[in-house]
């Protein structure tokens, strides 16, 4: 892969060179080549390649289902490469499946707990934004995923971006059926609170899913920032620095 230089940027294929535009890296060029799709699909020498491809596909599909389950929160708290980062972590989950053979390993039989701590926005990580102590709890029997935050002083324990006047704490509890690509989700949030030196009240966000669920459970916690202008609340910089992370995961 090489970067295009010069005034005129090309897109398309000339001979064995493909010219294209990447969102992240600008105009690039690369040489055509590689092994044919038919050979990869049928040649015994590419058995491992097919197995890896199948598991990568399973990881990508699982990541998509998880993203859909908390889509309402992700719209304002994710970076441009979040999808690829999540897929990479999902591959690790799949590879921990000790039940099925290579090529058939999956998230359900893997270690979903490896996703605990995943930040959806690398530009606003929860651990370097919200310093107030909190407890995340998942009760599978009751079907509750809860976040408890003792009272705290916002300006002391929230590292807010410049221009912040207010903030909001959000959470989501998701029960994800990866096999059937379905989910149950419940979202909770505080009111929009002032970012000042006055202590908050105790915060309790309780998300409810199916009691005694037989699917992996995910608890996400995030913070959104606002700027008050003439009595109106505006998302700060369109949510560029909002944080959202998986703070508790309970697999099977």
45 and 146 share a domain? yes
Model confidence pLDDT, tens digit, residues 49-86: 777 677 888 889 999 999 999 998 998 899 989 999 99
What's the pLDDT at 30? 64
User: DSSP per residue over 74-98, as a string?
Assistant: HTTS--TTHHHHHHHHHHHHHHT--
Mean pLDDT of the chain: 87
111 vs 36 pLDDT, higher one: 111
**Using CA atoms, how far apart are residues 74 and 65, in angstroms rounded to an integer?**
13
Mean pLDDT, rounded, for 2-30: 65
What's the pLDDT at 46? 61
- The residues facing 20 across adjacent strands are 28
251 vs 133 pLDDT, higher one: 133
The domain of 11 spans: 2-31
Closest to 187 measured CA to CA, from 237, 228, 143, 221: 221
What's the pLDDT at 119? 97
56 vs 246 pLDDT, higher one: 246
50 and 115 share a domain? yes
Number of structural domains (the chain) is 2
7 and 81 share a domain? no
User: DSSP per residue over 157-207, as a string?
Assistant: HB-PPTT--EEEEEEEEEEEETTTTEEEEEEEE---EE-SSSPPPPEEEEE
63 and 177 share a domain? yes
113 and 182 share a domain? yes
24 and 85 share a domain? no
- The residues facing 135 across adjacent strands are 148
Closest to 186 measured CA to CA, from 163, 197, 170: 170
What's the pLDDT at 57? 86
Closest to 110 measured CA to CA, from 26, 40, 181, 178: 178
Model confidence pLDDT, tens digit, residues 162-198: 999 999 999 999 999 999 999 999 999 999 999 999 9
The answer on pLDDT for 42 being more than 70 is no
17 and 130 share a domain? no
15 and 117 share a domain? no
Model confidence pLDDT, tens digit, residues 17-26: 776 677 667 7
The answer on pLDDT for 5 being more than 80 is no
Question: Among 32-46, 128-142, 195-209, which is the least confidently predicted range?
Answer: 32-46
Closest to 167 measured CA to CA, from 118, 219, 222, 248: 222
Model confidence pLDDT, tens digit, residues 202-214: 999 999 999 999 9
DSSP 239: G
């Amino acid at each position: 892969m090489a970067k295009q230089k010069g005034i005129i940027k090309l897109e398309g294929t000339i001979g064995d060179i493909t010219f294209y535009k990447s969102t992240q890296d600008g105009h690039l060029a690369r040489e055509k080549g590689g092994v044919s799709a038919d050979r990869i699909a049928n040649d015994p020498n590419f058995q491992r390649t097919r197995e890896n491809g199948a598991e990568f596909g399973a990881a990508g599909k699982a990541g998509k289902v998880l993203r859909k389950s908390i889509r309402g929160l992700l719209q304002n708290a994710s970076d441009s490469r979040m999808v690829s980062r999540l897929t990479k972590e999902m591959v690790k989950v799949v590879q921990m499946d000790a039940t099925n053979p290579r090529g058939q390993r999956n998230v359900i039989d893997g270690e979903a707990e490896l996703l605990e701590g995943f930040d959806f926005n690398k530009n606003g990580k929860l651990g370097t934004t919200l310093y107030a102590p909190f407890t995340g709890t998942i009760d599978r029997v009751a079907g509750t995923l809860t976040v408890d935050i003792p009272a705290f002083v916002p300006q002391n324990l929230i590292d807010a971006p410049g221009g912040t006047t207010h903030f909001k704490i959000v959470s989501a509890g998701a029960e994800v059926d990866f096999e059937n690509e379905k989910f149950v989700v419940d979202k909770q949030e505080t009111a929009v609170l002032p970012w000042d030196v006055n202590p908050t009240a105790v915060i309790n966000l309780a998300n409810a899913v199916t009691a005694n669920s037989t699917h992996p459970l995910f608890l996400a916690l995030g913070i959104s920032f606002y700027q008050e202008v003439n009595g109106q609340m505006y998302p700060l910089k369109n949510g560029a620095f909002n944080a959202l992370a998986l703070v508790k995961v309970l697999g099977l």
